[in-house]
Chains A and B, each alone.
Chain A
């Protein structure tokens, strides 16, 4: 018996396509949003977390030029010119507990040429201490030494993959390559690190002395950031002292805020948490609100539908439909509509997410939450939205509705 009522409900929806369409639309948009937030959220969250892990050990501090990350997102590099190499030297000398640092400066994309092979890749400026701070050494040749950095020598360390692409099986050591328009001598080949979570292949990187990078490749006198290795038992204290030293060197008055930011692992953790909150709390909350609204829309449209269909309802009762049957019919209609909206939303949402994430160069993780929720929530929304109209329909007086 229920099967026939359901079939009859499907027929009704098909006969009233426009009305069904508007009810479907709301849920569809809600679920699309749900998909986007979850999928993009979880994908980016995973990238960020992995990146953080790659960057941060419990004994690392990052110093960055500029006002820091108030809103959780990284700001653009290079635009802030206040952080100098000398600042970092001063921090190393003046703050006890700071063991070593490696300044950062990146050039990307940049052409690397050997013979007739021409590859566009990323160049990193590093100091002697980069070997320890970034925990990455060479498998052949030698790492950068003090002399290389002090004299801004034109020497380069090659990632294992770019080395293969440039030199094939021949020995790269002491060969001349061109980076941009500058000639460099290959000094070593870096150990393999694979692809970082951002999609950057670290084995395609080329490392040159930071000073060479600044004076010959980029022609700047500032750095965007530096990674420090410190005594992790005095983390907070060290962070405070670094701030004092840098404020003094930058002659900042008490009423001026920092023109740099110091990030400790604790703060990094907090930042990740904040971002996580955006993706796991606020965005789903928004989709929840959209679904709630679409539930209300369905409910209102169903109520209108009920009042337009009083004579149909009266007739159904006259020919033997019980209040229970009528109730079932309307709740079913509402669930059906909501579910169709949910499935369409899921389809569009997942395709859309896949497109966006692939375009961003991230890896697409098929998220299970929106798939489960995209089916479950519409059913719940449909039931809840259907109850009031269905009750109204079930309680209609057949005598009045047939008059």
Chain B
């Protein structure tokens, strides 16, 4: 589904101080995979996600999305791919202020031809277990609930690929696990899920871990026994009692 060939990303103009955030990265991710990209802060994870999500363009190398060259597409064409095939979840949620949960989830549908956007948004909220919070505004929700709204927003277009950039970074460990659970469930329905995190224990819930360091892939391996969230949540629950 996704193929990166010798991708480099350099920030800053020639002559001024430049940062090589990605250094000759090659990578293939197949449809339906559940992948974690791990690495220390500043290693280039977000840069990679921005390129994978077509929010940014690489400096050199080639990116193939469903066997098509991405670099030749216009910004409007990239927007239409993001709209139909990619869902984003961010560390900082990025919900619209003063706006209800359901209207936040409707946002991606505004840029599509879908008619019954309210119905689709409610369905997505149901999938993340927030059916009872649809009219609440962003500031009336807990951070875990806000991130669920953000996930529902990423899901609502029924995208093929979901990208999460440290989606658990602003959450406590239990809430973080609940969020990873949702990602796991989404992967089970056949979606390609790419989860960026610097927490090893979060990464171990995926099927494949790619470690980057200073913009290079230093490790890429399958997880033999991915951790099971339901069990862990139960364990946490009993510990709390």
Mark A residues whose CB is within 8 Å of B: 1, 4-5, 8, 11, 15-16, 311-312, 314-325, 397-399, 402
Would you call B88 and A322 a contact (CB within 8 A)?
no
**12 sample A-B contacts, Cβ–Cβ < 8 Å, listed by A number:** A15-B98, A15-B99, A315-B94, A316-B107, A318-B82, A318-B88, A319-B107, A319-B108, A320-B83, A320-B108, A323-B75, A398-B56
Q: Which of A1, A16, A397 contacts B111 (CB 8 A)?
A: A1
Would you call A319 and B88 a contact (CB within 8 A)?
yes
| Chain B: minimal CB distance from A103 (Å) | 75
A218 to B236, CA, bound (A): 107
| Chain A: minimal CB distance from B95 (Å) | 8
A317 to B111, CA, bound (A): 10
Q: Please name the residue on chain A nearest to B91 by beta carbon.
A: A402
A322 to B54, CA, bound (A): 12
B84 neighbours in A (Cβ, 8 Å)? 320
Would you call B76 and A323 a contact (CB within 8 A)?
yes
The answer, yes or no, to whether B80 is at the interface (CB within 8 Å) is: yes
A15 to B56, CA, bound (A): 31
Q: Which of B80, B94, B103 contacts A320 (CB 8 A)?
A: B80
B112 neighbours in A (Cβ, 8 Å)? 1, 320
- A-B pairs with the 9 shortest C-beta distances? A320-B83, A322-B79, A319-B108, A322-B76, A320-B111, A4-B110, A315-B94, A15-B98, A399-B56
Mark B residues whose CB is within 8 Å of A: 50, 53, 55-56, 75-76, 79-80, 82-84, 87-88, 90, 94, 96, 98-99, 103, 107-113, 117, 153, 157
A399 to B76, CA, bound (A): 16
A324 neighbours in B (Cβ, 8 Å)? 76
B94 neighbours in A (Cβ, 8 Å)? 311, 314-315, 318, 402
Q: Please name the residue on chain B nearest to A325 by beta carbon.
A: B111
Which of A5, A314, A322 has the most B CB atoms < 10 Å from its CB? A322
| Chain A: minimal CB distance from B234 (Å) | 34
Q: Which of B75, B87, B107 contacts A322 (CB 8 A)?
A: B75
| Chain A: minimal CB distance from B235 (Å) | 35
| Chain B: minimal CB distance from A336 (Å) | 16
A322 to B76, CA, bound (A): 5
Q: Which of A15, A325, A399 contacts B55 (CB 8 A)?
A: A399
B99 neighbours in A (Cβ, 8 Å)? 11, 15
A320-B84, A402-B94 known; A1 vs B103 contact (CB < 8 Å): no
| Chain A: minimal CB distance from B45 (Å) | 13
A16 neighbours in B (Cβ, 8 Å)? 98
